[in-house]
Amino acid sequence: MARSVCTKSAFELWGHGRTHSELRTSLLNFPSENMSSFMHKDSTYRINVYTFNKTLEFTERIKRIDAMEYLPFKGTVSLKSPQHVFCLLEDYGTDPNNIPEHPEYIYFGRWIADGQRELIRSYSVKNRHFIGNTSMDAGLSFIMANHAKVKENDLVFDPFVGTGSLLVACSHFGAYVCGTDIDYNTIHGRGRSSRRNHKWRGPDENIRANLRQYGTEKMYLDVMVSDASKPVWRETALFDAIITDPPYGIRESTRRTGSHKDISKPADGLYVESHVPVSQAYHLSDIFTDLLNFSAHHLVMGGRLVYWLPVYWPEYCEEMVPLHPCLRLISNCEQMLSSHTSRRLITMEKIKEPEELDTLAHLADPRFRPYQGHNAFREKYFSGLNKRGSKEDHKSAVNGE
């Protein structure tokens, strides 16, 4: 609960039922020896009433509490600093347009702990110093950090770092963070601003400033301009976790350095400061192949890779998830993006060091071959939007609008 952003609170369940009468029967059947240590005369307590999908007046809440007098509380009520907190939870369903008069289900129990939902608000991208078009939502960033089991003094790397949202989340848990990106302007905080009413980025808009904003600048190692398809790291296991959100070709292009043309290279030692490398398309299937290979070589044993895999869900099957002989698939969770697309949060763990035979396995075993269907994701994404737009235009024409 000290890390979860998906859970609001945890309770020890003492009783439940569809009505207050059923709840009473359930509570009276709860073992008294499990209650007694929280209800003795020297204890202090408070009862809270929570309703879901409905708001109760204060007087109604007091009535709910008074109706539970059958419970053997012997301690003293303390509203400000009780030793024990008990909660009555009433569930009124999920339809805000059809709220029933009586709850669909009722629970009562002892409060254990609250989750970390507050992090979603306090780390909101809306209030962040440096953002971009694809800055990862705070809640999803913390979920990814939890999937990677990021902990204090870990070394975490993001090869498609962008504006560093994932580094911010990992640094909150005490990890040292670093990253790379092919976009020079993003890494250096230059160019056009993604904020409304701001034309250009300010002089202090960068990833380091984001960590400084949340008091974790000491966890910032560095970021650098680099092509994820080109090896720049020494051949050794460095990272406890690799967490990333590769570009899908929708809001950010998928590019890598290189050219299909024959370009004469400058003489050795001759570098032009203003030189901008030629870039070419970086297919999604190649992105994921390179990412898994990189992770197999640079994760420590037991280290985790966590990344997003975009899919056209009408065609989705588990065989589309890239695999690697050195990485074990831990989890595969879906987030819907539109009526026809979604993305899968893939978590993998390194189980062995890479060997020469692993390269042959990629060729021989169809499970380890790149799935070429990923390369058409951009076309399928926009074809779905165009179909939806055509349907709406047709509906408007039929209605005479």
pTM confidence score? 0.84
pLDDT digit string (tens) for 320-358? 999 999 999 999 999 999 888 999 999 999 999 998 776
* Secondary-structure percent of the chain, ordered helix, strand, coil, rounded to 5: 30, 25, 45
Question: Average pLDDT for residues 234-247, to the nearest whole number?
Answer: 95
pLDDT digit string (tens) for 143-180? 999 999 999 999 999 999 999 999 999 999 999 999 99
b/e map 323-351, b = 16+ CB within 10 Å:
bbbbbeeeeeeeeeeeebbbbbbbbbbbe
pLDDT at 311 over 80: yes
Q: Are 112 and 12 in contact (CB under 8 A)?
A: yes
400 versus 151: which is more confidently predicted?
151
Name which of 1-15, 168-182, 209-223, 245-259 the model is least confident about. Answer: 245-259
Q: What is the pLDDT of residue 252?
A: 64
- 153/300 Cα distance (integer angstroms): 14
Q: What is the pLDDT of residue 282?
A: 83
Q: What is the mean pLDDT of the chain?
A: 88
| Token pair 């076309």: residue | 379
- 72/322 Cα distance (integer angstroms): 57
Domains and CATH numbers, the chain: 9-115 (no CATH), 119-257+278-375 (3.40.50.150)
- 353/389 Cα distance (integer angstroms): 49
121 versus 338: which is more confidently predicted?
121
